[in-house]
Amino acid sequence: MSDISTSVSNPVRPRLWVETLWLLDSLTATQPLREIPLQRGLNLIVSPPGRGSSGHGVGKTAFCQLLRFALDDPLWSDGSTLRDELLHSHELKEGAVAARVHVGGETWTVLKPWLHQKQYRASRTADWRQLAANDAENEFAAYQAALRRHLVEILPVQKLPGSEQSIEWHQILAWCSRDQNARYHSYYQWRADGSGFSWPAKSPAALMQIVLGLLPDGTTLRELDGTTKTLEKHKADLQTLREEPARLLKHVRRQLARHLNVSAKTPFRQDGLFEHPNLIGIAKQRHEAYQQELVAIDAERQELAAQRQAWMEKRAPLKAGIDLLTNRIQQNEALAAGDMQAVKRLQNEASSLQQLLPTRCDAGSRLLRDCSHVMERIELTQIDRGQRITQHQRSKETLENELLPLRRRLAELEAETAPMNERLTAIDQQDAALTTRHAQSLSADQLLSDAIEDYELYEDIATGKSTSPEIGKLERQLESAQRRHGQLQIQLVKERDAVAGRRQVISAAMHAVAKSLPSFHWGLLSDDDKHRNRPFQMGPRHSTTFKVLEILAGDIACLMDSTAPESFHPGFLLHDSPREAEMSESMLWALLGHVASGNSDAFQYIVTTSTEPAEAFKPFERLRLSSDSEDSLLLCRRVGAEQRPLA
């Protein structure tokens, strides 16, 4: 590895790189617990095995998480106990991480306590001490805006196709600093607990294509996804509509059989020349019976109506007499009681003598207004107010004497009309019963006719003899969606062909990585649906680390390609202990050697490892950790239970 170059001059700078990381035990500290200088190019954070130590549990993973914290990753501690251990540490709970971060050509100093979010601070001019003492203007919001402006807003597509979720900086950072806990299960599994995608099955792949410049316009992909959903919905709806007639056919058949009280196995119509029971035949017979019953009911109701009219005419004069007597009795009682208001009201009733004056009396066939007896009685109620009390005392006895024959006559008339009333009530009851029977028969006949009509309609649709308007409309919509889907697929192929050169460049970078590794002969990028979960490939396969190695090599190929003007990659990559997946030392150093021999000023690659670096890699070592003493731990002390040390 003696040919590895440690300093290659190139004016190209990564969009994002971290120059220094400081770890503080409090905001009042004058000196940091640890200052970690970093450079562009390859950076190694190492913890080789020591005396009775495997090199683990010293803080490599904690370093990665705290670095992500400084880069504004809201998920920096997810899947680990780091934040809880820091907050429950008596010595470190007031601590913070600070970093000098280069974003799009701007240099930022950022400070973030892990206890108080309101004390997150950043500045383009102040150092970490000034930020900790709050002696500088806080530009933290501007720092967040710079990350978005230089790393997200430069993307040609701002929303993920399919989900229409806005792309966030922390999603890109998740790709560039995948969790060790994810263990490289899949190229698109960047965080053990997810990366905040609303559509995790497809969004990571779309994000990678956008960042690499392989998806300059997401319109076609977005529309294609929309038509795919439309096609699925139309097909499901069409299947439901096509199955519905058969289901309804069975339902109507059961209803007919139950309504006609026949076996469910009875055929719907007669098959062949021989007579046998069938639903249509039985239904026709039942329909004729209903029609005959309706005719009979109508005739009986007409007969009852004639009888009722005759009895009403016979009862009419008796009822008129009863009404007149009742009114006279009530007027006399009101007069006797001195209730002139009730008298006035009764005089205005249609059955009163006052209202009947233009008519003739039955006894003498003369107008009631010419009858002296009637007029005298009326005059009793028309005396003036001054005479009312005296007249009332004089006529009360006369009124009471008059009531006795009136009441006897009223009782006689009521007794005479009682049989007529009973007969009319009986007629009304018979008519109500006939009305109910008529409605029931009419409804049953209509239901029978509707069921037969529905059966024939559903049978024609189920057998294909006819098509429902809904099915026809949906079939036309499906055909239109299929045509549009086909057009979009052709358009997508054209767009993919337009970036074929870009794909070849990234494939060439992947091929160069593969060629630098022992026993591998080729590498390429395949971002089609067939290789959805394995976009980067190398061959031939020859070890259990093959899958992890492909993922690492794919990340590195994207990093090396970040210098291309068509790429929107941040030029930053963080790998936590890649050799943990049983990768051989020779494979690890060959992989890192390929990075180190590249254009090192154009990107930043940070790797943690528990493997002792070869001599040629010593210049890339930025921090050496060990469990031999507390001073050699990342935070210069143990945090949390010893059985759960920082990784």
Residues 37 and 19 sit within 8 Å (Cβ to Cβ): yes
- Rounded to whole angstroms, how far apart are CA atoms 122 and 139? 5
Cis check: omega of the bond before 540, within 30 degrees of 0: yes
In angstroms, the CA 57 to CA 116 distance is 27
- pLDDT one-digit tens code per residue, 175-212: 999 988 776 678 999 988 888 999 888 899 999 999 99
Strand order in the sheet with 121-123: 34-37, 16-24, 96-103, 106-113, 121-123
Burial of 190 (0-12, 13-18, 19+ CB in 10 A): buried
Residue burial 215-246, b: 16+ Cβ < 10 Å; e: rest: beebebbbbbbbbeebbeebeeebeebbebbe
What is the distance, to the nearest Å, from the Cα of residue 497 to the centroid of all Cα atoms in its chain? 37
Task: List, in sequence order, the alpha helices (H) in 357-468.
Answer: 372-379, 388-462
Which parts of 463-521 fold into alpha helices (H)?
A: 469-498, 500-515
Q: Are strands 41-46 and 604-609 parallel, antiparallel or unpaired?
A: parallel
Greatest alpha-carbon pair distance for the chain in Å reads 150
Residues paired with residue 121 on neighbouring β-strands, in sequence order: 111
C-alpha to C-alpha distances, 512 to 354, 525, 538, 555, nearest whole angstrom: 123, 12, 11, 13
Give me the average pLDDT of each 10-residue run along the chain (647 residues).
Answer: 42 87 95 96 91 74 96 90 90 95 96 92 97 96 97 94 92 93 80 88 92 85 83 86 69 72 69 62 80 89 90 85 84 81 81 61 52 54 47 66 83 88 91 89 79 69 69 87 88 78 94 91 83 85 71 94 94 89 83 87 94 92 91 86 41
pTM above 0.85, yes or no: no
Left (φ > 0), alpha (ψ -120 to 50) or beta: where does 115 sit? Answer: alpha
Where would I find the H helices in 338-387?
A: 340-347, 353-356, 372-379
